[in-house]
Amino acid sequence: MAKQEDSKLDTHSAVYYHWRVWELTGLMRPPGVSSLRYVVYSITVNLVVTVLFPLSLLARLLFTTNMAALCENLTITITDIVANLKFANVYMVRKQLLEIRSLLRLMDARARLVGDPGEISALRKEVNIAQGNFRTFASIFVFGTILSCVRVVVRPDRELLYPAWFGVDWMHSTRNYVLINIYQLFGLIVQAIQNCASDSYPPAFLCLLTGHMRALELRVRRIGCRTEKSYKGQSYEAWREEVYQELIECIRDLARVHRLREIIQRVLSVACMAQFVCSAAVQCTVAMHFLYMADDHDHTAMIISIVFFSAVTLEVFVICYFGDRMRTQSEALCDAFYDCNWVEQLPKFKRELLFTLARTQRPSLIYAGNYIALSLETFEQARHNYIFKCPLI
């Protein structure tokens, strides 16, 4: 039964929902779909939503003359434009995403070959965390979409789902008003799906990296830790030679982990940097709006400001938290090489171990823009700079 469950191990399923979203929104062609039809579908969807939706928000921003409305619209526009840039970045790194999928298949095959229940459990745990993160983000976006619709319905006067400019009179034309709201609802749903995948795939890939590091840590700690019964029938020298081969296999596994980290770095660098920039810009805009511009009796504007402030801060916290988990796990992996039973081993075992330890001294980190480390220390510093040192406060 355990072997049957091991054969079903597929850590790439951590991004299963993300892959379906990317197929649905025109980034990844599903199997069995003709190339021409998918290209037409992709161009249509992304022109109608990914391009026109933020342009309508930006046009409304340019025609805004009231300072309070400008701050409110700017918050929404910045968030939407950055979200679309992150979505476009997925298209730019699609080759790396396919490379990650191929590499994960090799690493999964190795884990199935080893067949250790602890390793399989660690990998499945990270897959479940990644999928759970997607469902959590999806719930938040569903709630936000419903809240936007309810806000329009309960308002006594006509209002759009989002402040936007379309060049037609919708205040005095029911037909225009209905058509624009239908378009905005469609665009809002598509954008929510895109943003859900864009915001949750960095934690998902960090979970994958953490899980394979944890599996390798458990594998390394077992090297040479055998009782006399384990090598019964073998000579002591033959057993030590076998342990040496185990170390070589683990070093190859470590090379795959490092390769996975390098690819994930390239995939997440721009997306995470965009999130940091978006968070800083929105936090400062919201602070200015909330403290200086918002009408004390405009509770809706205050709630929207608080929601956006909390959302962008939470998004940065999530990627920093999972980046910190990965760093902690990389340190545990380094410690595992120290903890293996190296004392009894062959001189060539110890030589290879020394070379490996020299390469693993620095903990693995993912950097936003190849500059800002994804760690809780970074989040604390960003929170302190953006909030407590904001020149507006």
What is the tens place of the pLDDT at every residue in 175-189?
A: 998 899 899 889 888
Q: What single letter denotes the amino acid at residue 178?
A: V
**Stretches in the chain below the pLDDT threshold 70:** 1-7, 68, 226-233, 289-305, 382-393
Q: How many domains does the chain have?
A: 1
**Would you say residue 2 lies in a domain?**
no
**Cα(239)–Cα(271) distance, integer angstroms:** 48
Cα angle 200-276-48, degrees, rounded to a multiple of 5: 60
Closest CA to 382 of 284, 286, 306: 284
Phi first, then psi: give them for residue 80, nearest 5 degrees.
-70, -45
Per the listing, tokens 């399923």 go with 13
**Would you say residue 37 lies in a domain?**
yes
Closest CA to 256 of 87, 136, 116, 99: 99
pLDDT at 393: 41
**Cα(283)–Cα(392) distance, integer angstroms:** 11
**Cα(311)–Cα(361) distance, integer angstroms:** 36
**Would you say residue 4 lies in a domain?**
no
Q: Two tokens at 258? A: 């490092």
Q: Sort 7 into a burial class: Cβ within 10 Å, 0-12 / 13-18 / 19+.
A: exposed
Q: Two tokens at 9? A: 């191990």
**Would you say residue 3 lies in a domain?**
no
Q: Two tokens at 188? A: 């809002």
Q: How far is CA 167 from the centre of its chain?
A: 37
Q: Two tokens at 10? A: 């597929």
Residues 359-389 as b or e (16 or more Cβ within 10 Å = b): ebeebbbbbbeeebbbbeebbeebbeebeee
**Would you say residue 298 lies in a domain?**
yes
**Cα(121)–Cα(115) distance, integer angstroms:** 11
Does residue 157 contact residue 253 with C-beta atoms inside 8 Å? no
pLDDT at 155: 76
Q: What domain range is 126 assigned to?
A: 11-389
Question: Half-sphere exposure (CA, 13 Å, Cβ side) for 57?
Answer: 23
Residues 45-69 as b or e (16 or more Cβ within 10 Å = b): bbeebbeebbebbbebbeebeeebb
Q: Is the pTM of this model over 0.85?
A: yes
**Would you say residue 305 lies in a domain?**
yes
pLDDT at 382: 65
**Cα(375)–Cα(198) distance, integer angstroms:** 19
Helix, strand or coil, per DSSP, at residue 361:
coil
Per the listing, tokens 């960003």 go with 382
pLDDT at 259: 95
**Would you say residue 5 lies in a domain?**
no
**Would you say residue 355 lies in a domain?**
yes
Q: What is the pLDDT of residues 292-349, one digit of tens each?
A: 655 555 566 666 667 777 777 888 899 999 999 999 999 999 999 988 888 888 899 9
pLDDT at 392: 41
> Any alpha helices (H) in the chain, and if so which ranges?
2-7, 16-24, 35-45, 52-62, 67-92, 94-114, 117-154, 174-221, 236-288, 299-339, 347-359, 376-383
Q: Is the dihedral of CA 343, 347, 350, 354 positive or negative?
A: positive
Phi first, then psi: give them for residue 153, nearest 5 degrees.
-65, -40
pLDDT at 388: 44
pLDDT at 391: 43
Q: What single letter denotes the amino acid at residue 315?
A: E
**Cα(181)–Cα(179) distance, integer angstroms:** 5
